[in-house]
Chains A and B, each alone.
Chain A
Amino acid sequence: MIANAAEIRKFTILSWGWLTIIFGLVWAVSWLVGVAIPLLLANVQADWARLVTEICQVLTPLVAVMVFIPINAMFMVLAERRALALFTVRKGPNRVGPDGFLQTLADALKLLFKEDITPRGADAFMFTLAPIIFFAPSIFGALPLLAAVTNNHNLFQVVNLPTGIFYVLAVSSVPVVGIVMGGWASNNKYSLVGALRSAAQAISYEIPLVLSIITVCLMAGTLDVVKIAEMQKGGLLNWNILGGGALSGLNKYFQALAAGQADAHQMLSQYYPDWGSVIATVVLIACTVLLVGIYLTGACAEINRIPFDLPEAESELVSGYNTEYSGIKFAIFFLAEFTNLFIVSTIATVMFLGGGDCPLPDWLNPLTNPAVTQPVGKFFSFFTDRIHLIDPSTFFPAIWVIIKVYALVFFAILVRGTLPRFRIDQLMAFGWKRLVPLSLIIFVLVTFAKGAVRLHV
């Protein structure tokens, strides 16, 4: 028996409770705005009704994101504190609410009502603008991912872009401007040093980050996140993390074997005709596994998380670029940081971990078996067909996305609990001398290996 079962159980209950609240709320709000109001107005033959319907449908993604971001950040702060407490053999916040359930809610309320101080000598306009510029990209960056994580639900198709992933990457590089602006406007040398470090670091680590994403796009042949997520459907072997679809032939072969087809071996030789394709597959698998590592490293640096939290190194700079911030502005900085963590985890999920795909292949997955789904579907037909509360083609993928994203977030917390902070010269050397060449080499390797094997068959 695990000695710490009680604390782990508390953490699990807390996480699932918060997740239920977050996604229940987002679900309810998107349903209300995107489905319920248009359904109510469907029989009204008037111009204003059509106008309201249009507005509602366009507003749905925005409302969903706006509801989601603050609650999610609150949960992530609490989860991070509790998980770090687990790793460091402590209890963590456990006073507010049952087992500290409401701790971050109390913190958020406190920050909202705190005095908002602008330091003497600060550029007040820039000082106010900085948190906004830091926070806004996390909303805009989250929008195009909505369609990918909900299996292209028609409520969120509005915000899907054909150049989705590049838009997300472009937008996610804007927060640096906010940090530099805030550090400069604070009239504080620590803030300025933190801000400049952040700029240097973000520029250095954006290159391997973008190169790893480009490589995935190269293998997929598209920039559309929905298409990339759809390509990876059909089980673990189809995911980009394992060869970017090079193993999907193997997946098909296993499926044929399970179905008892006689020509299964022929199928294998069809997908992997020669040794060249086998070598290419192995190379691709090695490359994509490394790519995930590069992506996560770059993302960690991009969002200033430990071990790359030099911009706010507590032991060197007081609190880095947000030293002078207090009250609601600090809350916005905090909110954006955790939202960025969520967004980079979502990008990793969509690009590498198959989006909303179940790790089990289709022929093993009970959720794709009609014998299972039809009776359940009948039971829920009121919700699915009459009021459109549940869309099964979105529901299960969304749950998989949630599990994968929070697993990555948990991994980031584990890394935070383990690794010490880099020194600035080590950081630069690691970024420019290791990660950039490595990602370029992988890019070239993938370019050649991609030609020798069929991907995502």
Chain B
Amino acid sequence: MFDWVEQLFRGIWQSIVGLYEIRRGLGTVAMHALRPPTTEVYPDIVPPLPAHFRGRLALTVNPETGEHLCISCRQCERVCPDKCIEITAHKSPETNKLELIDFKIDHGLCMFCGLCTEVCPTYCIINTNDFEMADYTRESLVYDLKKLTLTQEESAYYFDRKENPLPKPKPAKAAPAAQGAAPAAAGKAATAEKPAPAGAGQTAQTKAATEGESAKEAETKSPDAQVAPEAPPKLSNDEGKSDEAKPENESGEGPRQG
């Protein structure tokens, strides 16, 4: 009989509860105004990116000598799921080694999976931290060798940041093979010895002095072991012949790197 009274009062009570809930929501939202914004002021302040951020692809040079690290092995081209890498190389008739002519990456196709950087035997192709690649045409997203190659300083920066092992020293036997280029080879050998102390320094920072010795040996050996099966033959081959053809080669590589 008095159901409607009960309903009425229940309705009024529900309205009061609802109004209270709305007020609580308004209060919560208003209190949010006191929190500092989570926005990053991106173009003004670039956020810190991790070393393994997969940004624009680039080719490194030897941070010590400025020599291009690509050996035209085409592993990156083969592994690329998008087929966005195109390497042009030819076997030089004089030196009988692969010579890199052009290296094209279509960043419009690339999906930044980073597979190419994993297979690269010389740590040449890397993902940089740069991601500002917006451009006006699709054609300008195809980067050629000149656009891809980093400077010596940038390479040094990325080698240091990604903790990649520095390029292997040139085989010592190459030096006596060419007497004409002896001073250059000697200089190269001298610089090539540097990576080992640098590696020692890095490991010494993290590990105790006694352990550091063994750890250094282990670490410097392991990349060698990985690279050895593929790289050394080519490298030695490359090195042995390039010393003879050094003048032309140097002049030929100079502008490409620049």
Interface residues of A (CB under 8 A from B): 2-4, 6-8, 83, 85-91, 414-415, 417-419, 434
Q: Are A3 and B29 in contact (CB under 8 A)?
A: no
A289 vs B245: C-alpha distance when bound (angstroms): 95
Taken together as a complex, chains A and B put the C-alpha atoms of A414 and B25 apart, in Å, by: 10
CB-based nearest B residue for A434: B15
Interchain CB contact (< 8 A) of A87 among B33, B36, B38: B33
Q: What are the residues of chain A within 8 A of B30 when measuring CB–CB?
A: 87, 414
Chain B residues with CB under 8 A of A434: 15
Beta-carbon nearest neighbor of A3 in chain B: B36
In the complex, what residues of B have CB within 8 A of residue A83's CB?
Answer: 33
The answer to whether A3 and B34 touch across the interface, beta carbons within 8 angstroms, is: yes
Q: Chain B interface (Cβ within 8 Å of chain A)? A: 15, 22, 25-26, 28-30, 32-39, 41
Q: How far is the CA of A4 from the CA of B26 in the complex (A)?
A: 18
The reply to whether A88 and B32 contact each other, CB–CB distance below 8 Å, is yes
Q: Name 19 A/B residue pairs within 8 A (Cβ), A-sorted.
A: A3-B34, A3-B36, A4-B34, A4-B35, A83-B33, A86-B33, A87-B30, A87-B32, A88-B32, A89-B32, A89-B35, A89-B37, A89-B38, A414-B29, A414-B30, A417-B29, A418-B28, A418-B29, A434-B15
Q: Is the CB of B26 within 8 A of A415?
A: yes
Q: Write out the residue numbers on chain A whose beta carbons fall within 8 Å of the beta carbon of B33.
A: 4, 8, 83, 86-87
Select from chain A the residue with minimum beta-carbon distance to B33.
A86
Cα–Cα, bound, A88→B29 (Å): 8
Check if A414 sits within 8 Å of B26, measured CB to CB: yes
Q: Smallest distance from the beta carbon of B227 to chain A beta carbons, Å?
A: 48
How far, in Å, is B1 (CB) from chain A's closest CB? Answer: 22
- Given contact pairs A87-B32, A88-B32, A89-B32, A418 touches B37 in the complex (Cβ within 8 A): no
| Bound-complex Cα distance A6 to B28 (A) | 20
Shortest Cβ distance from B63 into chain A, in angstroms? 38
Query: Which chain A residue has the least Cβ–Cβ distance from B43?
Result: A95
Q: Is the CB of A91 within 8 A of B32?
A: no
B43 to chain A, nearest CB (A): 9
- Known contacts A86-B32, A89-B35, A91-B41; can you find 19 more A-B pairs with CB under 8 A? A4-B34, A4-B35, A4-B36, A7-B36, A83-B33, A87-B33, A88-B32, A89-B32, A89-B37, A90-B37, A91-B37, A414-B26, A414-B29, A415-B26, A418-B22, A418-B25, A419-B22, A419-B25, A434-B15
Of all chain B residues, the one with the shortest Cβ separation from A438 is B15
A418 to B160, CA, bound (A): 49
What is the bound-complex CA distance between A244 and B15, given in angstroms? 24
A140 to B29 alpha-carbon distance, docked (Å)? 35
Complex interface: chain B residues within 8 A of A415 (CB):
26
Option from A2, A3, A90, A417 in Cβ contact (under 8 Å) with B39: A90
4 closest A-B pairs by CB: A86-B33, A91-B39, A418-B29, A91-B37
Q: A87-B32, A414-B30 given as contacts; is B37 within 8 A of A4 (CB)? A: yes
Q: Please report the C-alpha to C-alpha distance between residue A86 and residue B39 in the assembled complex, in whole angstroms.
A: 11
Once the chains are docked, how many angstroms separate the CA of A7 from the CA of B32?
12
Report B56 CB to chain A, min CB distance, Å.
25
Which of B22, B26, B36, B37 contacts A85, CB < 8 Å? B37
Contact A7 B26, CB 8 Å, known A87-B32, A88-B32, A89-B32: no
Residues of A within 8 A of B26 (CB): 414-415, 418
Residues of B within 8 A of A89 (CB): 32, 35-38
Specify which chain A residues have a CB less than 8 angstroms from the CB of B37 in the assembled complex: 4, 7, 85, 89-91
From A8, A417, A434, residue with most partner B Cβ within 10 Å: A417
User: What separation, in Å, do the CA atoms of A86 and B33 have in the docked complex?
Assistant: 5
CA distance in complex: A156, B249 (Å): 89
CB <8 Å contact, A90 and B38: yes
Contacts of B29 in A (CB 8 A): 87, 414, 417-418
Give chain A residues whose Cβ lies under 8 Å from the Cβ of B39: 90-91
Residues of the B chain whose Cβ atoms lie less than 8 Å from the Cβ of A87: 29-30, 32-33
Nearest A residue to B15 by beta-carbon distance?
Answer: A434
In the complex, which of the residues B34, B36, B37 has the most CB atoms of chain A within 10 Å of its own CB atom? B37
Separation of A417 and B33 alpha carbons in the complex (Å): 11
Residues of A within 8 A of B36 (CB): 3-4, 6-7, 89
Complex CA gap A43/B201 in Å reads 94
Query: In the complex, A415→B32 CA distance in Å?
Result: 13
Cβ–Cβ contact B34 & A2, under 8 A: yes
B10–chain A nearest beta-carbon distance, Å = 14
Chain A proximity of B16: nearest CB distance (Å)? 12
Report Cα–Cα, A90/B33, bound state, in Å: 9
Contacts of B25 in A (CB 8 A): 418-419
Residues of B close to A8: CB separation below 8 A = 33-34
Question: Complex Cα distance A7/B37, Å?
Answer: 8
**Docked complex Cα distance between A89 and B41 (Å):** 13
CB contacts (< 8 Å) of A417 on chain B: these are 29
Chain A, residue nearest B29 (CB): A418
- Measured in the bound complex, the distance between the Cα atoms of B24 and A249 in whole Å is 34
CB neighbours (8 Å) of B15 from chain A are 434
Which residues of the other chain, B, contact A3 by a CB distance below 8 angstroms? 34-36
Chain B residues with CB below 8 A from A418, complex form: 22, 25-26, 28-29
How far does the alpha carbon of A157 sit from the alpha carbon of B41 in the complex, in Å?
Answer: 50
A4 to B33, CA, bound (A): 7
A402 to B41, CA, bound (A): 33
Closest to B39 in A: A91
Q: How far is the CA of A8 from the CA of B34 in the complex (A)?
A: 8
Q: Report the minimal beta-carbon distance from A198 to chain B, rounded to whole angstroms.
A: 24
**Set of chain A residues within 8 Å of B28, measured between Cβ atoms:** 418
- The docked-state distance in angstroms from the alpha carbon of A162 to that of B35 is 49
